[in-house]
Amino acid sequence: MMNAIHGDTVKQILQDLSTGTTELVESPAPIARRGQLLIDTAVSLISAGTERMLVDFGRAGLVAKARQQPEKVAQVLDKVRTDGLLTTIDAVRSKLGQPIPLGYCNVGVVREAGRDADGFRPGDRVVSNGPHADVVSVPKNLCARIPDGVSDEAAAFTVVGAIGLQGVRLAQPTLGEAFVVTGAGLIGLLTVQLLRANGCRVLAIDFDEAKLAIARRYGAETCNPAKGEDPVAAGIAFSRGAGVDSVIITASTKSSDPVTQAARMCRKRGRIILVGVTGLELNRADFYEKELVFQVSCSYGPGRYDSDYENKGRDYPLAFVRWTEQRNFEAVLDLMAAGQLDVEPLISHRFPFDHAPAAYDVLASEKNALGIILSYGHAVEERHHKAVELTPAPTATSQPVLGVIGAGNYASRMLIPAFKRGGAALHSIAAPSGVSGVIHGRRAGFARAMSDASELIADPAINTVAIATRHDSHASLTAAALTAGKHVFVEKPLALTHDELAEVRAAYATAGRQLMVGFNRRFAPHVQKMKRLLAGVSEPKAILMVMNAGAIPPEHWTQDPAVGGGRIIGEACHHIDLMRFLVGAPITAFSGRRMGDNDAVPTTEDKASITLGFADGSFGAIHYLANGGASFPKERVEVFAAGRTLQLDNFVGLKGFNWPGFRKQSVWRQDKGQDNCAAAFLRAVEGGGEAPIPPEELFEVAEVTIRIAEQLRQQG
């Protein structure tokens, strides 16, 4: 059982995807990050459609999970071919074993508005797409102020209402048109009301008579196929023989019948909008002969999945994008305030938040459940503590006492286990969301989880800090930890700019502590073998590295120079360091060339070739390519020297050609050196010896990497 350091804590609902177990987890309160609102939750809504699918998926066996996600199976098979079976099994188990937060319909009161979260202030009653939790931190563009005349329970339906509203907007209804809504769940019943508010006649289709009764209450005619009623015939009759103007599909089914039926009941040039999830085995003739329009609706509306809009708060101009997802929230709330949306009949169950697991049992067992309301009646002040105790704090002082900042995928899967195996005493883990630190802290055996990194750095019981956050925070956190007298292990990259690098240099110069960057590849067993073999070669070397990096969308945070630094600074630095290590001499020259601008290829720096020259006459080329095949191995390193060649394939197999006394070395499990890297750092901290990577090499690699990225960005 977890205990708060100063009292009670935030609670949040999580689901284990491997078992389907739903759990109420205690965690530190999140912090209000830039552009976000910190909200004390009053009510949240369990969505019977989306959340039931997640619960059912989690409770399914591995075979059933695979059948539901054939595209993921293909990715797994590619990974087996490139990284090996054991590595792939570890990755799949880790992915399925990471609990996910549930919920996206939250109502509460703003406690704090983060920097740049303009338009809101403490005390505002707001709706957001925040999860089921006592306290949530949500970007401002995913929030909307609630009118005084709308209750908290009614407002909880705003987000699902916006999903229906976006489908209605795409259908472009006009006064008097005949519409069919297929699927009378939460979104379907809200869609019926939205269409009625537009002056349309509506036919609702569903297999559940209780839901159809609600649709009739809202003024719709109904069709129940479970009673033998024919949806196509009902649609034709409803349209007085002309064919309906439009069909909005809000059902969730693997069958393609809803789309087929929609096509057959539509008039010529009718519109079909898919809001839900169905099979998509279409008959071309059904669409061709009538010139039907078929469109898939994207969630709440324009802005959805656009990081600039959602996370950075950059709104679209109203004159050009009238209805964004936030403005759709506001429109739904206005309809509620005007009495045109009635959600009371949609509430099928109410639970206090502390009984949330029972609510999910109802969701799974009662297929006619609609809106399940969770109420948060406990005191607000009890929720706002920044740390929770997980296990007793370590008392040993002869070993590194570790605090980890960041609880993302790499930290949880690779870094923390490596430090644990290396013998570190796990003290505290900090993550801004609070709950992710608890998830991974509890699993690894940390004593505390917290949301404020500055508190971790200031803790005198911690002598070593590992930083695994987004790249734009690496330099500032590293400098702060060094200044506080901590030994620091920071995941690559060390810095994104020359100014950041200078800040770290200055902090290191006066700290007298160990500084390490997570350049684990130089500690991989195969690379260590290569280094020993190359020690007997006195003449210059030629090295070729190929990184089949895989495509990442241009809008991903790693591609943003201000946040991730771009993929050269963020990832290719690994290979620059590896080449520096294998050569064993300073870098004296560098150049880079990226793929030229082309309409078919996103203009990013992740398709580039880098050439390095070294003080001993060696040279090398790094081909960092994001446009290769997924089934091709991710990394290859080849070294040519003294009439001999070494070839390393994806850190699984090493071959020697014409190398006296060496032919090959293979391992069953891919090993990129994470364990050895962490262990070497911990030994240096404990023993006070030389740094595993000389600091000047760290600064040299960082400087060269930044300059190469600058050079690539100047090219057309």
Least confident of 278-287, 497-506, 520-529: 278-287
How high is the pLDDT of residue 85?
Answer: 55
Convert the pLDDT of each residue in 8-41 to its tens digit: 567 888 877 666 677 788 888 888 889 999 999 9
CB contact set of 177 (below 8 Å; sequence gap of 6+): 200, 201, 245, 246
How many Å separate Cα 277 from the centre of its chain? 22
Convert the pLDDT of each residue in 308-327 to its tens digit: 999 889 999 999 999 999 99
Q: Can you say whether residue 661 is alpha, beta or left, with left for phi > 0 and alpha for psi between -120 and 50 degrees?
A: left
Tell how strand 607-614 and strand 587-594 pair up: antiparallel
pLDDT at residue 434 above 90? no
**Amino acid letter for position 688:** G
CB 251 within 8 A of CB 188: yes
How far apart, in Å, are the Cα atoms of 134 and each of 10, 138, 380, 434, 435? Answer: 5, 13, 8, 12, 11
Q: CA 250, CA 243: separation in Å to the nearest integer?
A: 20
Mean pLDDT of 335-360: 94
Mean pLDDT of 355-380: 88
Convert the pLDDT of each residue in 275-305 to its tens digit: 998 989 888 998 999 999 999 999 999 999 9
Quick check: helix, strand or coil at residue 593? strand
Q: CA 182, CA 277: separation in Å to the nearest integer?
A: 11
Convert the pLDDT of each residue in 700-714 to its tens digit: 999 999 999 999 999
> 259-280 burial string, b = 16+ CB within 10 Å, else e?
bbbbbbbbbeebbbbbbbbbee
Q: CA 267, CA 263: separation in Å to the nearest integer?
A: 8
How far apart, in Å, are the Cα atoms of 459 and each of 168, 417, 455? Answer: 54, 22, 6
Q: Which DSSP letter does residue 571 get?
A: I
Domain parsing of the chain, residue ranges:
3-157+308-381, 159-296, 387-517, 521-677+691-713
How high is the pLDDT of residue 172?
Answer: 97
> 355-387 burial string, b = 16+ CB within 10 Å, else e?
ebeebbeebbeeeebbbbbbbbeeeeeebbbbb
How high is the pLDDT of residue 3?
Answer: 39
Q: CA 444, CA 429: separation in Å to the nearest integer?
A: 10
How far apart, in Å, are the Cα atoms of 253 and each of 53, 193, 605? Answer: 10, 23, 42
Tell how strand 587-594 and strand 542-548 pair up: unpaired
Least confident of 84-88, 264-268, 555-559, 645-649: 84-88
Tell how strand 36-46 and strand 266-274 pair up: unpaired
Q: CA 486, CA 504: separation in Å to the nearest integer?
A: 13
Give CATH for domain 3-157+308-381. Answer: 3.90.180.10
Tokens at 571, concatenated: 């990832």
Q: Is the dihedral of CA 171, 173, 178, 184 positive or negative?
A: positive
How high is the pLDDT of residue 297?
Answer: 95
Mean pLDDT of 84-94: 55
Convert the pLDDT of each residue in 579-624 to its tens digit: 999 999 999 999 999 998 777 666 678 999 999 999 999 999 999 9
How many Å separate Cα 627 from the centre of its chain? 22
Convert the pLDDT of each residue in 142-174 to its tens digit: 999 999 999 999 999 999 999 999 999 999 999
pLDDT band at 4 (very low <50, low <70, confident <90, very high): very low
How many Å separate Cα 446 from the centre of its chain? 23
Give CATH for domain 159-296. Answer: 3.40.50.720
Torsion of CA 694, 697, 699, 704, to 10 degrees: -170
Quick check: helix, strand or coil at residue 22? strand
Mean pLDDT of 120-132: 96
How far apart, in Å, are the Cα atoms of 465 and each of 475, 682, 691? Answer: 13, 11, 15
How high is the pLDDT of residue 67?
Answer: 54
pLDDT band at 348 (very low <50, low <70, confident <90, very high): very high
Give CATH for domain 521-677+691-713. Answer: 3.30.360.10
Least confident of 77-91, 176-190, 337-351, 542-556: 77-91
Higher-confidence residue: 613 or 50?
613
Q: CA 98, CA 118: separation in Å to the nearest integer?
A: 34
Q: CA 200, CA 263: separation in Å to the nearest integer?
A: 19
pLDDT at residue 82 above 70? no
Give CATH for domain 387-517. Answer: 3.40.50.720
CB 303 within 8 A of CB 280: no
Convert the pLDDT of each residue in 219-263 to its tens digit: 999 999 999 999 999 999 999 999 999 999 999 888 999 999 999
**CA nearest to 637, candidates 705, 581, 567, 711:** 581
* Topology agreement, domain 3-157+308-381 and domain 159-296: no
How high is the pLDDT of residue 2?
Answer: 37
CB 181 within 8 A of CB 203: yes
Average pLDDT value over all residues in the chain = 90
How high is the pLDDT of residue 390?
Answer: 87
How high is the pLDDT of residue 671?
Answer: 93
Q: CA 668, CA 216: separation in Å to the nearest integer?
A: 63
**pTM > 0.85:** no
Q: CA 458, CA 463: separation in Å to the nearest integer?
A: 10
How high is the pLDDT of residue 6?
Answer: 37
Least confident of 118-132, 348-362, 384-398, 526-540: 384-398
